[in-house]
Structure 1
Amino acid sequence: MRSLLPLFAFGLAIVLFSGCLEEQFAKRPVPTEGPFSKVVYITGAGFVPSELYIRQGTQVTWVNDDSTPHTATSEGRFDSGVLRKGDSFSKRFDSVGVYDYVCVLHPLLRGVVNVTR
């Protein structure tokens, strides 16, 4: 009977720990796309998609899907700050124009948002 006690304790710990992980990930809202909302995922390979064509008034949400921190920064226009894995940043584009942006931590990661009427 005593030899089963450590095994039982180990099994209970695994069940409790897995429940904590589920709760942690369940708290993160998943952004959805619609006619006036788009999602850009940040990965180790770059921004996906790297180029967006949207209408004026559309909100774009950047989501860091990488284990490495990233930013979405358009000098003088918007700056997400540092986004860790699972973090997101949203920006509504009310003005027509071309918005080039970059990850300031990884300058080779670039994207563009093209806003039309």
Structure 2
Amino acid sequence: MAPASPAAPTTPSARAAANHVTIAGFAYSPSTLTVSKGTTVTWTNNDSAPHTVTGSGGLNSPTLSSGGTYSLTFKSAGTFSYHCDIHPFMHGTVIVK
């Protein structure tokens, strides 16, 4: 039996990637993100079309052009649903523990 491999180290860039949502192909990816209370989540629009991040818990971005970003620090636990005001079929969720 092979020895268990050690867990991958958690680097600042790995932690940042875990707190990031990409907007591409008219979708949020990941569509559901789970983070700890006090975490800042950043959305980046990689589409050529503009998008928003709008929903519960203070989620209220300006219109994000291509390359635009929006960040929000989640200070309380809960489930926060959001959508794009321009493309209402786009949905995402942040779960804060």
TM-score range, shorter chain: 0.7 to 0.9
Query: Which residue of the partner structure matches residue 94 of structure 2?
Result: 113
When you count strand as a share of all residues, which structure comes out higher?
1
- Bigger relative contact order, structure 1 or 2 (CA pairs below 8 A, ≥6 apart): 2
Shift, 1:75, TM fit: 4.5
Identity %: 39
Shift, 1:43, TM fit: 1.1
In the comparison of the two structures, how many residue pairs are matched?
84
- When the two structures are superposed, what TM-score results if normalisation uses the length of structure 2? 0.80
**CA distance in structure 1 between the aligned counterparts of 2:28 and 2:86, rounded to whole angstroms:** 13
Query: Which residue of the partner structure matches residue 3 of structure 2?
Result: none
The answer for unaligned runs of 5 or more in structure 2 is 1-12
What is the aligned counterpart of 2:54 among 73, 84, 90?
73
Deviations 1:43-95 (A, max 9, x none): 12300000001100111000000000000011462211100000100000010
When you count helix as a share of all residues, which structure comes out higher?
1
Query: Which residue of the partner structure matches residue 45 of structure 2?
Result: 64
Matched, 1:49 2:26: no
Aligned alpha-carbon RMSD (Å): 1.6
Taking a change above 3 Å as real, the CA distance of residues 49 and 87 of structure 1, as seen in their structure-2 partners, is: same
Shift, 1:33, TM fit: 4.7
Q: Which 4+ residue blocks in structure 1 deviate beyond 4 angstroms? A: none
Q: Which has the larger radius of gyration?
A: 1
Aligned partner of 1:42: which letter? I
- Any conservation in 1 of the 2:26–2:47 contact (CA below 8 Å)? no
What is the DSSP-based 3-state SS (H/G/I as helix, E as strand, rest coil) of the residue aligned with 1:34? Answer: helix
